[in-house]
A and B are shown apart, each in its own frame.
Chain A
Amino acid sequence: MKKLLFLISIVIAAFGIACKKQDVPLFSGKNGISFYKGPYDPDSLGYSFAFSLVEKQRDTIFIPMRITGPANHVARAIAVKAGDGTTAREGKDFILPEATLPADSLTVNYPVIVLNSPEMKNGTFRLVVQVAPSKDFELGALGKEIGGTTNVASMIINISAQLIRPSYWPAGGYGDFGLFSQVKFKFMMEATGLTNFDSDVIGIDQYYNLPVVLQRKLAEYEAINGPLVDEDGLRVTFN
Chain B
Amino acid sequence: MRRHIFSDVLWLCVVAIVAFSCQRDKQNYVFEKLNKVSISPDSAFAITQYDTLKFAPVYTDTKPPGVPYKYEWVIYLQNGSGSPVTLSAERNLKAAIKQSPGVYTLQCRVTDPETGIVAVKLYKVTVNGKFYSGWMVANTRNNSAHLDFIRVDDALILDPAGLANNTTYSGKAIAALSTNNSGTAIILFFTTNGVFRFNGNDFFQNAGTDKLLPGASAFSTLPAYSLNVLASEQLLISEGGLYGGISTGFGMTEAQALKPFSDRYNGDYYLFPGLAASSFYTTYVYDNKYKRFMQTGYDTRTLLPSAVNGSFDMGNVGKTAIGFDRGALDNAYPTGEYFFIMQDENNNRYVYSINKDAPAMNQLIGNSPEIGTAKYFATASSLKQLYYATDSKIYLYDMIANSSELLYTFPAGYKIADIKIQRTGTARLVVAANKGTAGEVFYFELNVRGRLVNETFSKKFQGFGEIVQVGFKN
A residues near B (Cβ < 8 Å) are 1, 4, 176, 203-205, 208-209, 211-213, 215-216, 219, 239
Chain A min CB distance to B93 (Å): 44
Interface of A is mostly: helix
* Least Cβ–Cβ distance between A206 and chain B, in angstroms: 8
- Chain A residues lying within 8 Å of B315, measured Cβ to Cβ, are none
Residues of A within 8 A of B265 (CB): 212
**B contact residues vs A (CB 8 Å cutoff):** 3, 233, 244-246, 252, 256, 259-266, 299-302
**Chain A residue, CB-CB nearest to B302:** A239
Cα–Cα distance between A203 and B246 once the two chains are bound (Å): 11
Q: List the B side residues contacting A213 at CB < 8 Å.
A: 263
B264 to chain A, nearest CB (A): 8
Residue of A nearest to B245 (CB): A205
Interface of B is mostly: loop
- Nearest-CB residue, chain B, relative to A204: B256
Q: Which 9 A-B pairs have the closest CB atoms?
A: A205-B259, A209-B262, A215-B266, A239-B302, A212-B301, A212-B263, A212-B262, A216-B266, A205-B246
User: Is A205 a contact of B260 with CB atoms below 8 Å?
Assistant: yes
Across-interface contacts of A211 in B (CB, < 8 A):
301
12 extra A-B contacts, CB within 8 A, seeds A205-B245, A209-B263, A216-B263: A4-B3, A176-B301, A203-B256, A204-B246, A205-B256, A205-B260, A208-B299, A208-B301, A212-B266, A215-B266, A216-B266, A239-B301
A176: min CB distance to chain B, Å = 6
A1 to B6 alpha-carbon distance, docked (Å): 12
B458: min CB distance to chain A, Å: 44
CB distance from B230 to the nearest CB of A (A): 14
Nearest B residue to A206, CB-CB: B259
Inter-subunit contact B259/A176 (CB<8 Å): no
Chain B residues near A205 (CB-CB < 8 A): 245-246, 256, 259-260
Given contacts A204-B246, A204-B252, A205-B256, contact A176 B302 (CB under 8 A): yes
Q: Nearest chain A CB to B360's CB is how many angstroms away?
A: 28
A203 nearest in chain B by CB position: B259
Instruction: Give, as a whole number of angstroms, the nearest-CB distance from A158 to chain B.
Output: 32
- A216 to B303: give the CA distance in the assembly, Å: 13
Known pairs A212-B262, A212-B263, A212-B265; A176 contacts B300 (CB<8 A): yes
Partner of B300, one of A1, A4, A219, A239: A239
